[in-house]
Amino acid sequence: MATAGRQYGKQSADERRAARRARMLEAGLDAFGGPQGFRGTTIEALCTAAGVSTRNLYEEFGSREALLVALHDELNERATAAVVTALAAVDPLDLHARAHAACSAYLEVMTSDRRWARVALVETVGVSPEAEAARQAAIDRFVALIELEAARLVEAGLLPDRDHHLTAVALAGALLGLVNTWRTDTAWDARVPAVADEAARLIVLALTAP
């Protein structure tokens, strides 16, 4: 058996495994994010599309559900990182600028590919307890981020001193709803900046309400 670092041709075992994983993720994105969705996709179809064996897929992910969750988590990690990076470049006391920067960064990632949006917003729903947990964890991260921003601005005297948790939950749900509307309506492609503007206004109005 080959060791992890042993070379075959120009690729090590680790490199070949990483390449297989990337192909499986891409095959999953195409299948789960396409018309057939998760429920219409078999393990065999995934493996054929990725050019791997079923053993490869089970060794790497363990199940179709785990591959779906991996795709879901990858997108949400990218979106979270984009929002955090955008916020770091904005005046910490300018609520509207921060809301707009965060919404723009989030939407840029979430609307980069309708396949990703379908995987994140549709295909993970009701699949398994693990998928539901991943979906809820992603929502909770954004709720926590909104609450953190609100608490910091309350401390600075720029927001009313109240519990913003339910507001944050409602805002996270509204953003997901906007992305899902974009996903199903191709006429929205040119309107993503306008959606970011509207989302930012919604955040400002919600957080500044007494």
For residue 93, give its domain range: 67-208
Q: What is the pLDDT of residues 143-176, one digit of tens each?
A: 999 999 999 999 999 999 999 999 999 999 999 9
Same domain for 54 and 86, yes or no, is no
If you average pLDDT over residues 66-92, what whole number do you get? 96
The answer to whether residues 28 and 130 belong to one domain is no
Q: Averaged over 49-66, what is the pLDDT?
A: 96
- Residue 1's pLDDT band, with cuts at 50, 70 and 90, is very low
The string of DSSP codes covering the chain is ---TT-EETTEEHHHHHHHHHHHHHHHHHHHHTSTTTTTT--HHHHHHHHT--HHHHHHHTSSHHHHHHHHHHHHHHHHHHHHHHHHHTS-TT-HHHHHHHHHHHHHHHHTS-HHHHHIIIIITTTS-HHHHHHHHHHHHHHHHHHHHHHHHHHHTTSS-SS--HHHHHHHHHHHHHHHHHHHH-GGGGGGHHHHHHHHHHHHHHHHH--
Q: Are residues 38 and 74 in the same domain?
A: no
Is 97 inside a domain boundary?
yes
- Do 49 and 79 fall into the same domain? no
4 within domain boundaries: no
Find the CATH number of the domain harbouring 125.
1.10.357.10
For residue 189, what pLDDT is reported? 66
Length of the chain: 210
CATH number at residue 38: 1.10.10
| Co-location of 145 and 49 in the same domain | no
Give the chain's mean pLDDT: 91
1 belongs to a structural domain: no
Q: Residue 194: its pLDDT value, please? A: 87
Is the per-residue pLDDT at 5 higher than 50?
no
Exposed/middle/buried for residue 1 (C-beta within 10 Å: 0-12, 13-18, 19+): exposed
Question: Do 149 and 51 lie in a common domain?
Answer: no
Residues 24-53: what's their mean pLDDT?
96
pTM, whole model, 2 decimals?
0.86
If asked whether residues 141 and 126 sit together in one domain, one would say yes
In the predicted structure, residue 184 carries a pLDDT above the cut 90: no
The predicted pLDDT at position 195 comes to: 87
5 lies in a domain?
no
Q: Which of the two residues, 72 and 191, has the higher pLDDT score?
A: 72
Residue 3 lies in a domain: no
For residues 43 and 86, membership in a common domain is answered with no
Which of 62, 91, 106 is a domain's end point? Answer: 62
Domain count, the chain: 2
Look at residue 2 and tell me whether its pLDDT is greater than 70.
Answer: no
Say if 111 falls within a structural domain: yes
Residue 2 lies in a domain: no
**Cα–Cα distance, 196 to 149 (Å, whole number):** 18
